[in-house]
Structure 1
Amino acid sequence: MNWNEHLLLWNEATVKLLDIRYQSLVQGDELRGYKLPSNAFLWVTYGRGRVMLDGVGYAVDGFHLLHGGKGMSLDMSSSGDRLEYALIMYKALLAVPGNRYLDRLLKRSSPFHIQYGFTPHTPLSLHSKFEIMEQSWRKLTLLDKLYAKGVFYQFVYELVGQMAGQELGEIRVDLVSRATRYIETSYSEAITVEGLAEQLGCSSSYLSRLFKKQLGTTPNEYLIRVRVEHASRLLTETKASLQQISLSIGYLDVYYFSRMFKKQTGVSPLRFRSWAAEVSVQKSPFNRSGQAIVPRKGHGYNDNDSHYEKEGDLTMYKDLKLSVGAVMLLCMTLLFSGCGASTGANEPSVTAGSPATVTQEQQQTKKVKHMMGESEVPINPQRIAVNGLEDIMLAIDAPMVHAQSMKGQYLYDTLQAKKVPSVYTPGGLNYESILDSKPDLIIANLLPSDTESYEQLSKIAPTIVYDRSDWQTSIAAIGKAIGLEDKAQSVIQDYEEKLGKAKEAIVAKIGADRTLAFIRPTKQDVQLFFPAFSYTSIAYEDLGLILEPMLAGLKNKEEEGTWGVEASLEKLPELTADYLFVTVGGSFDSEDEAQAALQELNVVEELNVWKSIPAVQQGNVYKMSSRHWMLNGPTADSMKIDDVLAAFDLQ
């Protein structure tokens, strides 16, 4: 095959993706005489069997790819327990007909009609693109079809590259180039070094050695530089908040992002932005110091410290990243076509009451004030989509049709038991899944500055916004807004009673003058939290523990309301607290990330600076799960109270 001609025709063609069909054959099943209705790729993903394409036989075992033209006869049989495959059907024409040279090439060796097959050396990189394409195609909207078509080109690019390399004997492909290209174009994806190496068909240690040899750095270091350089441009070229920037490069935890940024640049993100504005610098510190290794493409990737990864049993939509304009187009298209209606003929009843009564009540609305202004909402909402306020909504038993959660997160099992669809979308909101849930009301936790997200949500359904960190105020307001005011007040009362009893028990057990240091250490540095930090303030402000003296001194040097400070590990022996509360990782860490964070803490615990802490020597160190300590809500805060009581042997 002449690969230059092959690629030229693919470049000059306009392609229409016609269909993607995923099917399987069990042992003994056969497919006979199926005529391909169009040009097609046959992507075998699992099993052993025999494929005949226009009389040419192929033995397949595991991943295998074949291509055939329209009208070719396909026969298949499974020789194992099952054979799974997909047909990717498409049509291709020259975008500009009449070019004699291209016409001759097309007649002589059209890549769209010829037959070929091969077993890829690195099938997972192909399969990941197929999965994204297939998932998008199944959603059926025009926008999804357009996205699937774009991924189809990536699929063809990958397979042609692998075929050419294998035919030319280039078994040792440039893994580093492929890895860096993937990193620079997929910074918001859930990627680990191990996962990247698996896609490339090598071990993570081998990939790391290649990086070190060719670039003088490791994949993790390359990752961090890509992400921080992208963040530095956003800081200098936009007015986006730190939370927005952090999310855009894949970090859900803005404090973790701040720490990584400061470690790389020497200054905090806010100081960098201020400094850049003063001197009109439009480049990152890497460019100034000559340390840049990343071209200015504006992309990064998630390393082992990534704050999310795909969970196999979740409904994941992270593979589809939509621009604001695309989201607006999607929402407006579906809403005008009637897809957003909440009272369709096939819509199941959601209450035990009279359908006529429910419909009449749902048609009534009232004005509700919230963080983003005032909205007209249904008096009796029955289909509420929730993002970030699931803890509150579960506590008042609100009727949810959409939530954000992931396996391992403290609310996940409860949401699953109540059969509430749980979608976890790293880096932002998933407008499509919210739209698909057909809500009559959306309740979200947004930053006051995130007006863009609020506007997009409001195009789907009436949207009201509340602050998760001040959950007692928010639950009272939400209860009043959706007709569950009594339940909300009951939740507050029960919590206050539990808090009061816990504080009395703690004072009775350890006294009213014992000091606490709440920290989050890593192998490089440590975060020291102040009482103003909304996630850990319960230990100081509500349960009465006193801020450790050294931390109190640091707090007095910072602005009012500062969450805390980052310090070197050498500061640890200066902590004279009676008790040390320690958390690791982030609130939405995967199981693997949570275990990795605990292993990192084990390394810290072997250091002399750690062993020199008085509370460590006295055995007064208690580990707290970040999965609920780094969030707020009646359930999360109740679990925090239980943790503190358990630490003092009061449970």
Structure 2
Amino acid sequence: MMLNGNGYTVNGFHLLHGGKGMSLDVFASEDNFEYYLILYKAQLAVPGNRYLHRLLKHGNPFRIQYGFVPNAPLALHMKFQMMERNWRKFTLPDKLYARGVLYQFASELFGQMATQKAGTMKIDLVTQAIRYIEDSYSEPITVEGIAGLLGCSASFLSRLFKKQLGTTTIEYLTGIRIAHASRLLSETKATLQEITSSVGYLDVYYFSRVFKKQTGFPPLRFRSLATEKSIQKSPFIRSGQAIVPPKGGRYNDNDSHYEPEGDLTMIKDLKMSVGTVMLLCMTLLFSGCTTSTGSTEPTATSGTSTTVAQNQLQTKVVKHMMGESEIPINPQRIAVNGLEDIMLVLDAPMVLAQSLKGQYLYDRLQEKKVPSVYTPGSINYESILDSEPDLIIANLLASDKESYEQLSKIAPTIVYDRSDWKNSIVAIGKAINREDKAASVIQAYDEKLSKAKAAIIAKIGADRTLAFIRPSNKDVQLFFPAFSYTSIAYKDLGMTLDPVLAKFREKEGEESWGIEASLETLPDLSADYLFVTAGGSFDSEDEAKVALEELTEVENLTIWNNIPAVKQGHVYKMSARHWMLNGPIADNMKIDDVLAAFELQ
């Protein structure tokens, strides 16, 4: 990179600063090169401060050119992403928040410059990863993602964690999340769904299983006992402390796989101390670069023409879960969040979807070249905004008014229930002019279901019992027919609920999804057939691997092998990727699974 005629060799994270009027040239040696450009304007917050005026006159830090390799780049990277996310939003509070993060970015930058000095040493990978995890545990981070940012493989990073801390990367991340969840359960009245989302999980049931594995208690039981001494001493509710404390200040040149790179040319050019520079920066009022008019509104982009085109479209009013919305009569750019299954079978024109590698719809979306993102526990508003949709179709809780309002600021938004996909597909088909297609999907599904049910009854009889479970190495989830994800096995395919589960359901209520029970319950299950799943629908590859390893541990236990269905060889594993979601594609796959289990396909 050439900044005003001075060259910098960039390999990995590198930070450059230049003043107004300087030129930047980039000569990439690889096909993929990514950089971020922050444009800012600084002016004195207190014009009458003569000392600051004198400092600026003798050496303005905002006109000084320098470049260096930060020793903790992820901290700067994270703050930039926070800035970008909020700056792209429409509201003034979001703009104000972004400017506040700019102060944090500058503080972090000058703090690293002050301690780094020569700029050639880097903190070891584990320390960097720990800091990133503790700052970003509520974000959609994965071990692969962290390793990618640090320039190493996930397996290498986990080996370093194991070597230095005695734990793996995913175990450390899980510990941090459960620590914060424990504090929220103990100190707030937040709902379980809210807590699940705030610590980076999407599936409440999966979160409950992980929480119990870590603490020994289900979340709500943990909350009810939080005032008792035994729970107060739990290491998971020590506010502000990590489960495994980092080894601060340790440099590990052998393990980091980083070579000294870059320079710190600002040292020879900067005539003021870093402390003085920080004083100047922290007493300046930063404002984002604007047009010459000084407007703080977002600069007009190509999205403006899209908006104009939208306004010229004819519209109609559509009823949905959140009320009524005025939408284009013939939408051509639909962003989808949670209803991808339905939209795929309708062959709708999607410009964005929610999925991740390994999820059952991911490959289908890739084949159709639909960009896919996934943000655990939240909605990626920035990606939706960037996709420039003329309509958003989402699966939200009826109480989630805030998300609906945020989405509606981007484009007209309609909301439907994924668990009731038949009614939803009819409504969506009507909204986007695909009513005939929706009707044909339902007809084909009903015909397949009817044939499958008849074939199953003919093969095994009408009175054979079933238990659908999700075990871990500490407990087991027992699903009832009311659980929308597994109800197809009980209600639609005609199998009878296991007598033990039926007794549990009498106590819990007909509408209960199921219960969490101890592993000692397993031998009591008298069902003729056992359907077993592990993990969740949106597990990362690491999380799915851990869930399968736990299932293997359970299968080696004596109590597992004492289950009647296990002894008879009537155990069938079902993938949580599609069994823990609903939709025409998912439910068709479930029917195929059951037919295959009974050797009918």
TM-score, with normalisation over the residues of structure 1?
0.69
Structure 2 counterpart of 1:563, from 513, 516, 540 = 513
Structure 2 counterpart of 1:647, from 583, 589, 597 = 597
Is the aligned partner of 1:227 residue 2:181? yes
Contact 2:140–2:374 (8 Å) recurs in 1: no
Is the aligned partner of 1:35 residue 2:1? no
2:192 is aligned with what amino acid? L
Structure-1 separation of matches of 2:483 and 2:403: 25
- Tell me, what secondary structure is at the counterpart of 2:483? coil
Structure 2 counterpart of 1:295, from 209, 217, 239 = 239
Deviations 1:507-543 (A, max 9, x none): 2222222222211122222211111110011111111
CA-CA distance at 1:256 after TM superposition: 1.8
**Paired position in structure 2 for 1:188:** 138
Structure 2 counterpart of 1:253, from 182, 203, 226 = 203
Structure-1 separation of matches of 2:328 and 2:148: 50
Aligned-residue CA RMSD (Å): 4.6
CA-CA distance at 1:567 after TM superposition: 1.7
**Paired position in structure 1 for 2:362:** 412
- Tell me, what secondary structure is at the counterpart of 2:582? coil
Q: Which consecutive residues of structure 2, in runs of 5 or more, have no partner in the other structure?
A: 245-295
Structure-2 separation of matches of 1:370 and 1:623: 37
Structure-1 separation of matches of 2:34 and 2:386: 29
Equivalent residue pairs, number: 543
Structure 1's 82 and 337: CA in aligned 2 closer, same or farther, altered over 3 A? closer
Is the aligned partner of 1:363 residue 2:317? no
**Paired position in structure 1 for 2:258:** none
**Paired position in structure 1 for 2:540:** 590
- Tell me, what secondary structure is at the counterpart of 2:443? helix
**Paired position in structure 2 for 1:500:** 450
Structure 1's 194 and 568: CA in aligned 2 closer, same or farther, altered over 3 A? farther
Q: What pairs up with 1:448-527 in 2 under 5 angstroms? A: 448-527=398-477
CA-CA distance at 1:650 after TM superposition: 1.3
CA-CA distance at 1:580 after TM superposition: 1.9
Structure 2 counterpart of 1:391, from 336, 341, 364 = 341
Deviations 1:455-490 (A, max 9, x none): 333344443322211111222233334433232222
Structure 1 counterpart of 2:384, from 434, 438, 459 = 434
Structure 1's 485 and 300: CA in aligned 2 closer, same or farther, altered over 3 A? farther
Contact 2:138–2:177 (8 Å) recurs in 1: no
**Paired position in structure 1 for 2:308:** 344
- Tell me, what secondary structure is at the counterpart of 1:557? helix
**Paired position in structure 1 for 2:247:** none
Select between 114-123 and 510-519 the one with higher mean Cα deviation: 114-123
Q: What pairs up with 1:177-326 in 2 under 5 angstroms? A: 182-192=132-142, 203-204=157-158, 207=161, 220-234=174-188, 236=189, 238=190, 241-262=191-212, 268-269=218-219, 288-289=232-233, 291=235, 294-295=238-239
CA-CA distance at 1:492 after TM superposition: 1.1
**Paired position in structure 2 for 1:548:** 498
Contact 2:184–2:195 (8 Å) recurs in 1: no
Structure 1 counterpart of 2:481, from 531, 554, 557 = 531
Structure 1's 334 and 621: CA in aligned 2 closer, same or farther, altered over 3 A? farther
CA-CA distance at 1:574 after TM superposition: 2.5
CA-CA distance at 1:91 after TM superposition: 4.8
Structure-1 separation of matches of 2:51 and 2:355: 56
Structure 1's 424 and 195: CA in aligned 2 closer, same or farther, altered over 3 A? closer
TM-score, with normalisation over the residues of structure 2?
0.74
**Paired position in structure 1 for 2:265:** none
Identity %: 65
1:510 is aligned with what amino acid? I
Structure 2 counterpart of 1:620, from 549, 552, 570 = 570
Structure-1 separation of matches of 2:30 and 2:415: 54
Structure 1's 524 and 169: CA in aligned 2 closer, same or farther, altered over 3 A? farther
Select between 632-641 and 598-607 the one with higher mean Cα deviation: 598-607
Structure 1's 599 and 158: CA in aligned 2 closer, same or farther, altered over 3 A? farther
Structure-2 separation of matches of 1:167 and 1:335: 38
Structure-2 separation of matches of 1:365 and 1:218: 51
Structure 1's 268 and 525: CA in aligned 2 closer, same or farther, altered over 3 A? closer
1:646 is aligned with what amino acid? A
CA-CA distance at 1:640 after TM superposition: 0.4
Structure 1's 157 and 227: CA in aligned 2 closer, same or farther, altered over 3 A? farther
Deviations 1:169-201 (A, max 9, x none): 997969998766644542322335676688789
Contact 1:550–1:575 (8 Å) recurs in 2: yes
Contact 1:67–1:117 (8 Å) recurs in 2: yes
Structure-1 separation of matches of 2:9 and 2:396: 54
Structure 1's 165 and 556: CA in aligned 2 closer, same or farther, altered over 3 A? same
Structure-2 separation of matches of 1:112 and 1:64: 18
1:344 is aligned with what amino acid? V
Structure-2 separation of matches of 1:390 and 1:515: 33
CA-CA distance at 1:568 after TM superposition: 2.2
Structure-1 separation of matches of 2:421 and 2:32: 51
Structure-2 separation of matches of 1:454 and 1:557: 36
Structure 1's 334 and 640: CA in aligned 2 closer, same or farther, altered over 3 A? farther
CA-CA distance at 1:426 after TM superposition: 2.5
**Paired position in structure 2 for 1:604:** 554
CA-CA distance at 1:117 after TM superposition: 4.6
Deviations 1:151-186 (A, max 9, x none): 554444444444444439997969998766644542
Select between 129-138 and 182-191 the one with higher mean Cα deviation: 129-138
Q: Which consecutive residues of structure 1, in runs of 5 or more, have no partner in the other structure?
A: 1-23, 25-30, 37-50, 53-57, 302-331, 348-357
Contact 1:122–1:199 (8 Å) recurs in 2: no
Structure-1 separation of matches of 2:515 and 2:157: 38
**Paired position in structure 1 for 2:372:** 422
1:544 is aligned with what amino acid? G
CA-CA distance at 1:245 after TM superposition: 3.4
Structure-2 separation of matches of 1:459 and 1:93: 32
Structure 2 counterpart of 1:634, from 560, 584, 595 = 584
Contact 1:228–1:264 (8 Å) recurs in 2: no
Structure-2 separation of matches of 1:197 and 1:338: 34
Contact 2:320–2:416 (8 Å) recurs in 1: yes
Select between 435-444 and 449-458 the one with higher mean Cα deviation: 435-444
Deviations 1:60-103 (A, max 9, x none): 65544455556779898788999876665555455335545555
Contact 2:192–2:204 (8 Å) recurs in 1: yes
- Tell me, what secondary structure is at the counterpart of 1:595? helix
Q: What pairs up with 1:69-80 in 2 under 5 angstroms? A: none
2:184 is aligned with what amino acid? H
Structure-1 separation of matches of 2:507 and 2:18: 71
Contact 1:232–1:284 (8 Å) recurs in 2: no
Structure-1 separation of matches of 2:27 and 2:159: 39
Select between 493-502 and 615-624 the one with higher mean Cα deviation: 615-624
